[in-house]
Structure 1
Amino acid sequence: MSEHLSIGAVSTRSASRLITLSMARLAVLIHGMWGTSAVWHHWRPFLEGRGWHTIAHSLRHHDVPPDAPPEALGETSLLDYVADLERTIVALPEKPVVIGHSMGGLLALLLCAKGLARAGVLLTPAPPASVLAIRPSNLLAFARIQARWGWWRKPHRATLGEALSYTFNTADRAMGVKEHSAFVHESGRALLEIALPWFDRVKAATVDPRCVTVPLLFVAAERDRLVPPDVVRRTAKRFDHVSDYVEFDGQGHWVLGQPGWERAAEHAEAWLTGKVL
């Protein structure tokens, strides 16, 4: 979304103020595992309808057909994603807020720890290394992927059955099938860094809470089978000096588009308005 200003019709001081106001609602949206920028097709028009400027890029090696993963994707690190996002953010006229879903929520947290955002909304976020996330449901969700030798350096993609059971478990099947058809492959290295951080030598998923000084909103979903609400709650507690926590009943992991997604979007937008404007 953009504003068109007639600078000649106002004073320099007024024009400057208008430009500042037009850029105040600037949000960078970060997708999660297997996604692309297209996953924000509900949230972007929602936010833009409320005056936000949104930027959503596909992560490195994700802007490709679902059946053609680049070989380099398998060894792409969370830190590579963060570096790319940092380059986008530093080129902006001011610090944005960051909104991330799932793995994108962890990336948003890492960006906040680097001082690159005014606030962060973390939607059903993958946890940092300090929070143990292993639960029976997410073990089952990744069991097939992690049964392959060398999975930690190879691209992977959820099957339709896995996606319907774990990502879209509170959505209707038709919606799940449509969303899954756009899934691309994800990095095995990034999965290792999130799921088994003790095996990661560079500690890519490590976040020092003392480095985060901006407001954070942690959004959990009662029926989330990938990042169960107790995991999100424990992560929020690690950052309780800056965090707020909300949990939505009856919702699953796909707060981006399942029935009821508007509740999460409305809460997040109202929280951001109250924190940064």
Structure 2
Amino acid sequence: MASNLEAKPAVVLIHGMWGTGETLNEVAQAFASWGYRTFSPTLPLHRVMVQTSTVERKQLTHTGLDDYLRFLNGYLDDLKLNHGVERPMLLGHSMGGLLALKLASQRPHCGLVLLSPAAPRGISAWGMSVLRTMGRNLLKFPTWWYTLSLNLANVRYGIANTQPLPYQQQITEQLCYESGRAATQILMPWLLQSDATQVQFAGVSGPVLVISGQQDRITPERVHWQIADRLGGKAKLLKFTAACHWTVGGQGFDDIATGIESWLSQHGLICLERTQTRSVG
């Protein structure tokens, strides 16, 4: 039997739109408590809005999912070279879930955890709740020439609608600007003739856990079960009745963490990497 040090892969946590690596701190803490080492990269040009310069916002308008994927592939290559991480577990939230799914279809991995994942090409997320969550961002046209931002009203309605007000305010204070190009590639890929959200589901080799909040208003539940369905028998879908899109912390996260831990236990996810003291970077 493999020792505990050999049994647990490194976990790469990929944040979603308007976020940073710190957005997934509660997820990282849960994995650390289970004995995993975690790595939480921040996507290019993602800084809290009050810290973002005009030049950085301009650069972000020219950045898309292709750039995020290129960055993450380089990050994973660096983990392999400098940390010996050859087959990590990939975890992503929202847009990060879509990026993790895309990476898993192309690279070796031990497993895949998708928290409220955004829709890949071929699965529509459109609905009135999505439009209302995006709010005034949709009035910016062409959307792919702009950066997008959310305020407390957007967060309260569509991002963290089941969370208490103080926690919603905390989330809002930590939000970044997001690339309108990336948002368009996800919501309207036909406009940019982009295949950045095209996923070859057959390429995903490891077991997959899909977490879905049934109160999710920006990536509706139907998106999550369609993703799980396309992954076939390798995927397990866990639905949480009282959860919203914010499945990475706050109220109700203990139940989600318990579901993840149970799934990890069921699959083992054994690889040859050795667990060290957790590092987040």
TM-score over 0.5 (shorter chain): yes
Number of the residue aligned with 1:34: 18
Number of the residue aligned with 1:128: 120
1:222-233 aligned at under 5 Å gives the runs 222-233=214-225
1:1-277 aligned at under 5 Å gives the runs 21-22=5-6, 24-63=8-47, 65-66=49-50, 68=52, 70=56, 71-92=58-79, 93=84, 94-275=86-267, 276-277=269-270
Distance 1:82 1:273 in 2: 29
Give every structure 1 segment of 4 or more consecutive aligned residues whose post-TM-superposition deviation is greater than 3 Å: 63-67
Distance 1:77 1:241 in 2: 32
Q: Give the RMSD, CA atoms, in angstroms.
A: 1.7
Largest Rg, 1 or 2:
1
Distance 1:260 1:181 in 2: 21
User: Relative CO higher for 1 or 2, CA cutoff 8 Å, sep ≥ 6?
Assistant: 2
Deviation of 1:151 after TM superposition, in Å, equals 1.9
Q: TM-score, normalised by structure 1?
A: 0.88
Distance 1:200 1:232 in 2: 24
For residues 108-144 of structure 1, the C-alpha deviation after alignment (integer angstroms, 9 at most, x for no partner) is 0011011242211000000100111111100111141
Task: Indicate the larger mover: 56-65 or 231-240.
Answer: 56-65
Runs of at least 5 residues in structure 1 that lack an aligned partner in the other structure? 1-16
Q: Is 2:17–2:96's contact at 8 Å kept on the other side of the alignment?
A: yes
Deviation of 1:21 after TM superposition, in Å, equals 2.8
Q: Is 1:132–1:231's contact at 8 Å kept on the other side of the alignment?
A: yes
**AA matched with 1:100:** G
Task: Indicate the larger mover: 256-265 or 166-175.
Answer: 256-265
Distance 1:116 1:188 in 2: 30
SS at match of 2:147: coil
Distance 2:108 2:182 in 1: 21
Distance 1:66 1:50 in 2: 35
Runs of at least 5 residues in structure 2 that lack an aligned partner in the other structure? 271-281
Q: Is 2:8–2:35's contact at 8 Å kept on the other side of the alignment?
A: no
Distance 1:231 1:21 in 2: 36
SS at match of 1:111: helix
Number of the residue aligned with 2:279: none
For residues 244-266 of structure 1, the C-alpha deviation after alignment (integer angstroms, 9 at most, x for no partner) is 11100111111112311111122
Distance 2:181 2:171 in 1: 24
**AA matched with 2:252:** G
Deviation of 1:22 after TM superposition, in Å, equals 5.0
Distance 2:147 2:261 in 1: 34
Task: Indicate the larger mover: 28-37 or 148-157.
Answer: 148-157
Distance 1:24 1:90 in 2: 19
